[in-house]
Structure 1
Amino acid sequence: MALLLKLCSTRSCRSFRARTTVLNLYLRRSLSIGNDKFERWNFRNRTTIYYTSSVIFLVSGLSYAAVPLYRIFCSQSGLGGQATLLGDNDPSKKVAEMNVVPHREIKVNFQADTASGMKWSFRPQQSAVYVRPGETALAFYSAKNPYDEPIDGIATYNVLPFEAGKYFNKIQCFCFEEQRLNPNEEVDMPVFFYIDPDYAEDPGLENINDITLSYTFFQSKPGFKLPIPRTG
């Protein structure tokens, strides 16, 4: 009887040890799998965060750069209703060689707007002027910073109808570079322009004697500069 109890006890101990060993192995394996899953989950989350942050940074950069890049492209190509800029270093030569078209008069309307977040007040000083193709004209806009801090701005412009944009030439314009207004400062901004005589020869513009020049000011970062777009 004692021998049987001893054998049973020995077998129970062995069985207990075996079960304990198996349980330990199971727990280690489970913990290992759990750690692997956690590491993979953590890696995916870090990757997602890095990717999302990169996309946000890229989109923000492109959004900021879109305005000046679009303006430069349209100014050089005359597409999108953007006025064309003179390519000569001396614009007076181009102007002196132009012939005025006496029988055609164009009404140029002026509009002003500010983008969301821009704190300036901005308006044209005249609602419209009349000009003949080949004739120069001067107009003014007014801008005011009503706040107690300096604010930098940069303008985009557009000409409607779009087909007229390639004939609308600017000799001098405040949209060429960044503008800074000090606290409570108000300035007059000139636009010196002409409509190319070829406007009168374009059959698509035969019945269009009314065009609109529109400016929109965006707030910009201090020190931001743009190359002056040129054609030629």
Structure 2
Amino acid sequence: MSDAGALVSYNRNRWVAYALTGFVAAMLLLAYAAVPLYQVFCQATGYGGTTQVASDNPKGLIAREMTVSFDSNVDNNLPWKVTPSKPITGQIGKVETINFTATNTTNHPVTGQAVFNVSPELSGQYFNKIECFCFTKQTLQPGETVQMPVVFFVDPDLDKDRDLNTVRNITLSYTFYPSDNEG
């Protein structure tokens, strides 16, 4: 092979190596970005029962009523007893405040955090939280019982969604986990 042929082959191989290195780097970047991108997607669309965050309800009330039920589950590694609020029924658009009650059943401080979802899943894009204990970690002192508020409303635009015409009950469910930051 001539020197010119070897140089062309070397340049071609170098380009392939650069392209493959760039491809591997892009795949690693996408792997690390997948979780935050998925969270942004879910928050924007309500996918998977992800609720929205709001500061108030600018759209007002509509005549249609909705019952909101509450559910709680506690991971076996979190020594808390959590009791959800009783279901409430009210006009869509009305800002409501409910409380979950949590008790630390140990003799030492325990920190936990809640993750949530809404069912039916399609209603997540219309379920707006103004305030929620789930936005931050919660530390309960030994034997402490606390009221953990959720302030929310159901967006009146839900009434315009054909897929939710027959929905009369939304369930807000929390699962409580121990936090990495104990006490």
Give your verdict on TM over 0.5: yes
Deviation >4 Å, runs of 4+:
68-73
- Does structure 1 residue 99 correspond to structure 2 residue 60? yes
If each structure's helix is expressed as a fraction of its own residues, which one has the higher value?
A: 1
Corresponding residue number in structure 2 for 1:113 = 73
Contact 2:67 2:169 in 1 (8 A): yes
How many residues are aligned here?
150
Please state how far the C-alpha of 1:163 moved relative to its aligned partner: 0.6
Q: Quick one: distance in 1 between partners of 2:38 and 2:99?
A: 24
The TM-score, its normalising length taken from structure 2, stands at 0.75
**In the alignment, structure 1 residue 78 sits paired with structure 2 residue 46:** yes
State the shift of 1:171 in Å: 0.2
State whether structure 2 residue 162 is matched by structure 1 residue 203: yes
The TM-score with structure 1 as length reference comes to 0.60
Give the whole-Å Cα distance in 2 for the aligned partners of 1:188 and 1:142. 5
Specify every segment of 5 or more residues in structure 2 that has no aligned partner in the other structure, as ranges.
Answer: 1-31
Q: Tell me the CA shift for residue 85 of structure 1.
A: 1.1
Aligned pairs for 1:8-157 (under 5 A) are 74-86=42-54, 91-92=55-56, 95=57, 97-102=58-63, 104-124=64-84, 126-157=85-116
Relative to structure 1, is the Cα distance of residues 71 and 173 closer, same or farther in structure 2, using a 3 angstrom cutoff?
farther
The equivalent residue for 2:18 is none
Assess, with a 3 A threshold, how the Cα gap between structure 1 residues 171 and 189 changes in structure 2: closer, same or farther: same
More strand by share: 2
> Secondary structure of the residue that 1:74 maps to in structure 2?
helix
**1:173 maps to which residue?**
132
Question: Cα distance, 1:164 vs. partner?
Answer: 0.5
SS of the counterpart of 1:149? coil
Residues 73 and 219 (structure 1 numbering): CA distance in 2 closer, same or farther, change over 3 Å? farther
Q: Greater relative contact order (Cα 8 A, min sep 6): structure 1 or 2?
A: 2
How well do the aligned residues superpose, as a CA RMSD in angstroms?
2.4
Cα distance in 2 for residues equivalent to 1:201 and 1:193 = 19
Gaps of 5+ in 1: 1-61, 225-232
Distance 1:69 1:189, change over 3 A: farther
Contact 1:155 1:218 in 2 (8 A): yes
Q: Aligned-pair distance for 1:185?
A: 0.7
Partner residue in 1 for 2:117: 158
Distance 1:123 1:110 in 2: 9
> Partner of 1:127: helix, strand, or coil?
coil
| Percent identity for Structure 1 against Structure 2 | 37
> Does the 8 Å CA contact 1:112/1:123 hold for their aligned counterparts?
yes
